[in-house]
Each structure stands twice: as structure tokens, then as C-alpha cells.
Structure 1
Amino acid sequence: MSEQRFNGANAALVLIDHQEGTIGWVNSIAHDVLRKNTALLARVATILGMPIVMTSSMEAFVQGPIIKELVEIAPEAHARRIQRMGIINAMDDGDFAAAVHDTGRRNIVLAGVTNDVCTIFPALTLVEEGFNVQVVADAGGSPSAIGEEMALRRMEQAGVMLTATNQIVAELTGSWSTEEGGRIVQLMMAAVA
């Protein structure tokens, strides 16, 4: 895996199962923090013109709709979301895998709910396929602290880079002095206020 720095021109944002029901299962991070961080990632990707791939699982049955923040921030990505019917590893869904490949980006910023089920397996598959993957740990979570820790450890041992929202936002932005950077730093300051 390359240590190439990610930026808006070489990375895609992949969001897995940020649904009302799945967020309700998370106990390793506060729900409002998870939602705020996920929304910030989507806003930054939109500002930087990054491709956004979104997927959901079993919306009508168990896991509920995609969170409203993502619907509002990235309506086109939401409209194109891949709706899986219970396939755990999203990369095993042909439509989702094709959508990720079709971005043309080898650097993937990945966030999902839950990290111990929905995030880990696509992250591992993407690394196996030669992608550079950064999992945004605080834009996801798990039902238990031990589940979260084990998932993050396993991903890191397999070559997934772990990151946090502010860190990846700064990396993607590159400079606060650009027009996009100025907009993003304002979002970041508002998020911590």
C-alpha cells in the first residue's frame, strides 16, 4: 500500500449503512458525534468535488433510511445509493463494487456503521484489491467497546489506515488558504463550537 497523501482529486468517499436503525445499535461513540462527523465528511467531499458512493442495507425491514443529514448534503449520491438486501460485505454486492470501481479513484475514504460488521469486511476486501483505504473511525462505531477495538485492530493489521474526521479533512483539504479550504475550515470551526 502506498503512503500517498489523499486529496480531493485522488480520493473517493464511501459511506456504508449510515442508517437510522444501524446508528441506534452503536454504543462506542455518541450518536450525535457520529452523525456530525459523517455530515462533515460528506460536506467536505462535496466542496472538493470528490465522488461519493453510498450504500444501505435492508432499509425497509430493519435498518431504516439513510440519515437525513446525508440525504440533504449529498442528494445525488443518496439517489444513486446501492440498496443491499442483507449482503454483509458490501463489496460482495456487484452493484456496489462496480460503483466503487467506477469512481476511478484508488484512494478510498471509508466510513460505516457498524465498524465491527459493516465497515470491516469491505475495508479488508478493498485493501486486498490494492486500494489505499483510510477508515474514519469516529464517523462510525460499534455496539460494544471491545467490538470496536477488535475491528479497528484487525483492519489496521490488514493494512487499512485508521484516521479520525478532523485528520482526514485536513489531509484532503491540503491548505486552508484556498477558496475550498476557507469554506472547509469554517465548517470545522462550526462543528467544534
Structure 2
Amino acid sequence: MAKSSLLTPDDHALLLIDHQYLQLLALRSHPNETIVNNTTFLAKAARLFEVPTLLTTAFAERQALFEEVQAVFPEQTPIDRTGLNSWDDPRVLDWVRKTGKKKLVMAGLWTEVCLSMPVIDALGDGYEVYIVTDASGGGTSESHERGVQRMVQAGAQPLTTIAYVSELQRDWARPTADGVAKLFAEHGGGFGQGLRWEWQLLDLKEGTR
């Protein structure tokens, strides 16, 4: 049987790049609340599955990381840069090398600049890179799409937040199932609402016994 190329919790590291308020305010490719929700979902899933995760910012004294994302990793001070390309920062490269992972999952704002640059450079350095497109966003829909297209043409593999979380869970018999279900209930849109309704029905059924 051929080796699967699907992600597992222990074979990759996650980089969340510049999920900050100024970038969010200038976002036009997605609704702001969608990016905040999906990035928070992504961060919480990484924490649940114990995936090494790095947070980065640019000019943090002017704008903080999303409060919801920072709250997932309260012990971590994001690497703060002045350069647009986080792959140019020795601290980022040192962190990546120390993880020992050759697969990297990345999301960031904006797609066409601060995500595309490190993704393309990481691919050039021999890493296998996955991009979470719905936890990333651009200044326009076109710039986001062109950024994604450019990264995919360079060799990056695109996926969505729900696809990422589902790929790590893979089997509901795994011990993280309850935690993942709670994340879906909180951040998973229609499926999450369905879970809440099912739990409500189960509670009502229990109450009739």
C-alpha cells in the first residue's frame, strides 16, 4: 500500500502569519468574521492535536494579533517583524528547523503578500507546504485568488479549515473526538448547529426517562 500524503497531527507544523486588525480591516476577499472564525478554529484544532504552532506579526506596536487567536496560545509572544516575508526572518527559520517537520501548514493575511512570499520560499527550500485558504484573505477577491493560484502553481497544496481538522481527526474513534466535536459546534457553521441540535435532542430524551 502506498504511503498516504494526508496530514497527521505529528508530521507537520503550523504557521499563522499576521492575523492582525489592520490587515483584517483592509480585507475584501472574505467577510471579516469568517477569517476570524476560521483562524480561531484552526488555532484551537492545532492546540488540541498538539501541532507545533508559530504566531507572527508585523509592527505589533501598532496592531495586535486577533484577540481570539492570541487567547489560544496565551503563553506565546508572536515573532514581530518589519519585513514582508517571514521566511527572511532568522527567528522564523530557526523555529521551523527546530520542529524537525518537513511539512508546513500556513495561513495568513494578506494572501497575495505575507502568505505567498514565505510559502514560495519554503517550497524552494524543499518543504511540503499546505495553505489554508479560508483562514487567509486578500485585499480583493482577485488578489486572494491570484495569490492562491501562484502558490499552487509553485507546488503548495490548498485546503480549508474544516478539511484540515477532519484530516487530523480522520476517525471518530480517536480520543480527540469529543474535543473536535466541540470545536465544530463552536466554529463549524451549519454542521456545528446540527451537532448542537442533536445534543439538545439527546438532552430532552434523557430528561424524559
**CA shift for structure 1 position 3:** 6.5
Aligned CA RMSD, in angstroms, stands at: 1.4
Contact 1:42 1:73 in 2 (8 A): yes
- Matched residue, 1:114: 110
Q: Counterpart of 1:60?
A: 61
Q: Deviations over 1:141-179 (max 9, x none)?
A: 001111011101100000000111101111122222212
Distance in 2 of aligned mates of 1:133 and 1:172 = 16
| Structure with the greater alpha carbon radius of gyration | 2
Residues in 2 aligned to 1:6 and 1:181: alpha-carbon distance in whole angstroms: 17
* Structure 2 residue 126 is matched with structure 1 residue 130: yes
Whether 1:40 and 2:37 are equivalent positions in the alignment is no
Partner-residue secondary structure (3-state), 1:60 = coil
Checking the alignment, whether the CA contact within 8 Å between 1:17 and 1:118 is kept in structure 2 is yes
TM-score computed with the length of structure 2 as normaliser: 0.85
Within the alignment, does 1:28 sit opposite 2:7 as a pair? no
Moved more, 180-189 or 148-157: 180-189
Unpaired segments ≥5 residues, structure 2? 194-209
Any idea what the Cα deviations from partners look like across 1:61-106, whole Å, max 9, x if unmatched?
4xx1011011211112x32x21102x11100011111112211111
TM-score w.r.t. the length of structure 1 is 0.92
- Answer yes or no: is 1:147 the counterpart of 2:143: yes
- 8 A contact 1:19–1:67 mirrored in 2: yes
Amino acid at match of 1:161: Q
Identity %: 27
**Equivalences, count:** 187
Distance (Å, rounded) in 2 between the aligned partners of 1:164 and 1:24:
22
Tell me if 1:157 matches 2:156. Answer: no
State the secondary structure of the residue aligned to 1:127: helix
- Report the AA paired with residue 159 of structure 1: G
What is the one-letter code of the residue matched to 1:43? K
Q: CA deviation at 1:25?
A: 1.2
What are the ranges of 5 or more consecutive residues in structure 1 without an aligned counterpart? none
Q: Per chain length, whose mean CA-contact separation is higher, i.e. which structure has more relative contact order (CA < 8 Å, sep 6+)?
A: 1
Deviation of the 1:4 alpha carbon = 1.8
Q: Deviations over 1:29-76 (max 9, x none)?
A: 011110110001111111111101111001124xx1011011211112
1:82 to 2:79 alignment: yes
